[in-house]
Structure 1
Amino acid sequence: MSRPTEHTEHTERGAHGATTGEAAVELTVPDADRMRELGRRLAAFLRAGDLVLLTGELGAGKTTLTRGLGEGLKVRGAVTSPTFVIARVHPSLGSGPPLVHVDAYRLGGGLEEMEDLDLDVALPESVVVVEWGEGRVEELAEDRLHVVIRRGAGDTPEGSADPRSVTVTGVGPRWRGAGLAALAEDVAPPS
């Protein structure tokens, strides 16, 4: 995996007009096992009330990353793509938050469909992960993580069959100074 870069050069206006910073880390993930490990590492940063948006083409690794999140959060049930059921709730096996996994791919994009899922009700006590959520659920939380996964990373680690370029961006005050660059530790394959 390439050396991560962390930057905080973007700003945007939050829901209440306040300027919020963005912190981002860019990684090269060499394979599915390491994508899952990235999910486990990312889970350590998450708590109830966190919204995670996953963006990437079909087969990019969004569900694989979410499997790792589920493992890291220690939730019940196999994390699989909820494409045909739209949303799945995975209760915590311990004292952590449940994982609500949503796949918005089949939704028409209408706000009414997203509102029917009651994500605003689930969010305060859960970690909500939305595949294909960009442009659909940002208004649910001023603070959120946006994970973009791209195939064909330019910096291909030796022995990598299908690397991905992953950008994890923390939006809002919650993610300022969160140390997202630590996500890269132990995600690279052993030498």
Structure 2
Amino acid sequence: MRARWASLQGGFSFTMLLQYIDLALISKRSHANHSSDKDVDTPSTLWQRFKTGWNAMWSFRRINTPSEAKNVPHFSSTDPIYTPPRSTFILRQALNAAVRYLVLDLLAQRKPPSDPQSLFHPSLIPFFTRLGSVTLPQIKLRVLSIAGFAVTFYCIIQGFTSFAAALALGCGLSDVKDWRPAFGSVSSAYSLKNVWG
């Protein structure tokens, strides 16, 4: 695994552990809490148990349950009940995962700086206290570093989610309605509240 992905993947893996602790140990969720099939109370076959586990593992936002997280985006901003056709959704998610992987691969092709010690020296960490001595290349480095991290993080989250969605629907593990978008429109991320909300 590429070094810049490793910490993000490690964090994502830890969220999976926290998800398991929440589901299995703290809230003790049952199959009925995660299944869209209201007639099934307990998974009886190994396949049903696997489906339950898979869907619970990816239900960070508890979509389509009474405890659904606030502000989960819909498939359409103008029609909240719209759900795309299964085949279209699988194709779109597979393509989305592939594009995100290519973007991450392109970002990883950048060569590391020849002298990272001088660029990231501890004396350069304070920014506002030394505004008079901050140079344009230092500002550019900070802006590009933050932007690179944001794009990398976005692509990893979106890529994993799209891959998992395509796999889940392709194998019949879940329904399209259970895989609403991971993010809202990027054009609405013009304030910190909208970015995190």
Range class of TM-score, shorter chain:
under 0.3
**Structure number having the greater strand percentage:** 1
- TM-score normalised by length of structure 1: 0.26
Bigger Cα Rg: 2
- TM-score normalised by length of structure 2: 0.25
| Structure of greater relative contact order (alpha carbons < 8 Å, 6+ residues apart) | 1
**Structure number having the greater helix percentage:** 2
